[in-house]
């Protein structure tokens, strides 16, 4: 069933677990994500980034997501990830995406607020929840969609002001992760996370989850992160499986990659404590 992210993130925020938010760029990924969610009896969050337009149009992304969401046996949300352009995000809302992120975190505070408020006004009139980012999650060693700038940690006072001024539904915070592939394991500030969680009532989101380490991510979920973005780890898992199997034709490559991507996503559902919450409700 096609839903928005409001209820699923509220439940995660209340239950101290996190929902995986993987990006997709083709039909096989969408299908794999929904099949994993159905297998585990968990909600699915399908994320499409503005940066993916070169390989999959927004219109195709929506139709793929809608098709699998409407026939799914679990709640499925279609989310815009890292929407940089106000016009792009408004088109996504009009098209039917059920959740959007405006990422103006590279701008100054005032401009971030201005752009975010514009999207909130537009989306909320249509019943669509909005995520935004304060602080800035920078880039790893191979993340082409970012400019390579360093992360800027989220400050508690700025977070409080930002949420009050924008009336967003969830907020991405920067506590030490980065997009792309790491050299080593990131140093996450759990102390900062605890302070940020106590400062606002809305769900917190963590970008740059890939490569952060299972224990780090499990602890983030336990301490108040309600959604964790992962994509690089899924892509890497698919590529490594193809190489390991020595796949030498396109059909074999797709089948091998799909299996590895699904296995990796299922692993993260467990890491983020989703199954623990399910057992509590049985």
Q: Tokens 């909005």 identify what position?
A: 130
CA atoms of 73 and 250, how far apart (whole Å): 30
In the residue annotation, 81 being an active-site residue is answered as yes
Q: What contacts 219, CB < 8 A, 6 or more positions away? A: 188, 190
Q: Are 67 and 104 in contact (CB under 8 A)?
A: no
Residues 11 and 31: their CA atoms lie apart, in Å, by 24
- Give the residue ranges of DSSP H helices in the chain: 6-15, 27-40, 58-71, 86-95, 109-124, 156-166, 190-199, 214-223, 232-245, 250-271, 274-280
What's the rounded Cα separation, in Å, for the pair 42 and 267? 13
Q: By the 8 A CB rule, do 104 and 126 touch? A: no
How far is residue 48's CA from residue 78's CA, in Å, rounded to a whole number? 8
Given the residues 81, 103, 169, 258, the one annotated as active site: 81
Residues with catalytic function: 81
């Amino acid at each position: 069933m096609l839903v928005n992210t409001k209820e699923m993130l509220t439940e995660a925020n209340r239950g101290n677990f996190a929902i995986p938010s993987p990006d997709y760029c083709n039909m096989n990924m969408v299908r794999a994500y929904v099949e994993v969610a159905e297998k585990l009896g968990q909600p699915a969050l399908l994320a499409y980034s503005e940066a993916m337009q070169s390989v999959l149009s927004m219109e195709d992304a929506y139709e793929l997501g809608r098709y699998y969401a409407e026939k799914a046996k679990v709640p499925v949300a279609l989310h815009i990830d890292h929407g940089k352009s106000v016009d792009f995000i408004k088109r996504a809302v009009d098209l039917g995406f059920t959740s959007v992120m405006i990422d103006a975190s590279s701008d100054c505070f005032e401009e971030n607020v201005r752009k975010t408020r514009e999207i909130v006004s537009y989306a909320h009139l249509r019943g669509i929840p909005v995520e935004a980012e304060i602080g800035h999650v920078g880039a790893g060693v191979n993340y082409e969609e970012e400019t390579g700038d360093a992360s800027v940690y989220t400050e508690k006072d700025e977070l409080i002001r930002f949420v009050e001024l924008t009336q967003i539904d969830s907020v991405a915070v920067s506590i030490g992760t980065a997009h792309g592939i790491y050299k080593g394991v990131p140093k996450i500030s759990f102390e900062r996370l605890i302070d940020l969680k106590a400062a606002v009532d809305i769900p917190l989101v963590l970008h740059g989850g890939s490569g952060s380490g299972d224990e780090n991510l499990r602890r983030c979920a336990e301490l108040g992160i309600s959604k964790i973005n992962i994509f690089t780890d899924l892509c890497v898992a698919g590529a490594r499986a193809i190489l390991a199997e020595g796949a030498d034709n396109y059909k074999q490559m797709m089948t091998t990659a799909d299996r590895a991507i699904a296995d990796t996503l299922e692993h993260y559902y467990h890491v983020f404590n989703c199954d623990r919450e399910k057992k509590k409700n049985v």
